[in-house]
Amino acid sequence: MEHILDLKKEIDELSDDSLIKRFNQKPVNEGEFNYYPVFAKRIKKYKKLLFEELISERNVKIEFRTFKPSWYIAISILDYCEDEKIISEMIQHIKNHWDKDDYNDFAHYISKEERFKKYF
């Protein structure tokens, strides 16, 4: 399957302990966004972290941008998570926590990707 987001090999090769340790060091040397696809690929272990990041004020309440960090996290999950149940949970989670306009804007943005349409 072809992915939208790149999976950085050097990050993907990290052990779970190293991955979370490096992500929690601020600033994140490789950039936080490079970790989200790896977390999504390992969703069973990082579901709680990703779901918290999806609704974190710093990722949702952004002024003067149309593409929010929370959208990147959601796309990472859609792109790399293979568990349909978790994807459905994520959709419900963002529906419950994002404002309606943000959710609708994201759904419109992601609708360009055929394989994601079914979720929205």
Main-chain phi, psi angles of 6, to 5 degrees? -75, 140
Give per-residue pLDDT as tens, 40-88: 999 999 999 999 999 998 888 876 666 789 999 999 999 999 999 999 9
Which among 42, 37, 43 is positioned nearest to 6, based on CA atoms? 37
User: How confident is the model at residue 117, as a pLDDT?
Assistant: 87
Q: Is the pLDDT reported for residue 35 higher than 80?
A: yes
Q: What is the mean pLDDT of residues 22-32?
A: 91
Quote the pTM value.
0.89
Which among 39, 7, 6, 5 is positioned nearest to 22, based on CA atoms? 39
d(CA 58, CA 54): 10
Longest dimension (CA), the chain: 38
Domain boundaries defined on the chain: 9-117
